[in-house]
Amino acid sequence: MRCRNLFRIISAFYVYISLILRIMEVNTQPTEGVNVTMTLEPVNFRASTGAKRLTIDRQGRLMLSAALRKELNIDAQLSPWVTVLYDAEYDIWALQKNEKLKQGPDGATTKVDKRGYISAGSILRRNRLDYENGPLRYDFDGTVSYSGESYLSFKRVPSA
């Protein structure tokens, strides 16, 4: 009984692969009278370079990249608290984990959720950042000092 089922599965798989190969053969045949040159190149589906980055999405949330969460050692259950600062004049965000600060500014502390998001709609609207037309990206730009404390700085990347 098992051999018969295995034979059926293998036969179905063979038919399926044969159909796919025929479809590919038909789709790659040039149209009559037309000379088609196809240049194919491999596509890399791996994640980006692992850059430390902040992204503001259309819902008004700050998203911390995986590399940034890893550097700050942010864990959604154990230590998700960060201090976030924004300089409207230079359009620069500053961020630091609360555990690394001696004394952070009042009201600047917020929680990072389990997916790496921070709700920031109110500050985005107050500073008139146009986040509703697409994501805004901020790449790591070094460190800045505020009240004697060191913060990671993120500068806006012009959209393409």
107-134: per-residue pLDDT in tens? 788 888 888 898 888 888 888 888 888 7
Nearest to 126 by CA among 96, 81, 67, 86: 86
Positive or negative, the Cα torsion across 48, 61, 154, 160?
Answer: positive
Largest CA distance in the chain: 76
Which of the four pLDDT bands, split at 50, 70 and 90, describes residue 3?
low
One-letter amino acid at 71 equals E
Q: Where are the domains of the chain?
A: 1-30, 53-157
Query: CB count, 10 Å around CB of 64?
Result: 23
pLDDT for 95 beyond 60 = yes
Q: What is the pLDDT of residue 37?
A: 66
Q: Which of 29-38, 67-76, 85-94 is the most confident on average?
A: 85-94
pTM: 0.65
Q: What is the pLDDT of residue 122?
A: 82
Structure tokens of 94? 């500053």
Positive or negative, the Cα torsion across 117, 122, 123, 129?
Answer: positive
Provide the mean pLDDT of the chain: 81
Q: What does the pLDDT average to over 97-107?
A: 81
Q: Over the stretch 16-45, which tens digit does the pLDDT of each residue have?
A: 787 777 776 655 555 566 666 667 777 766
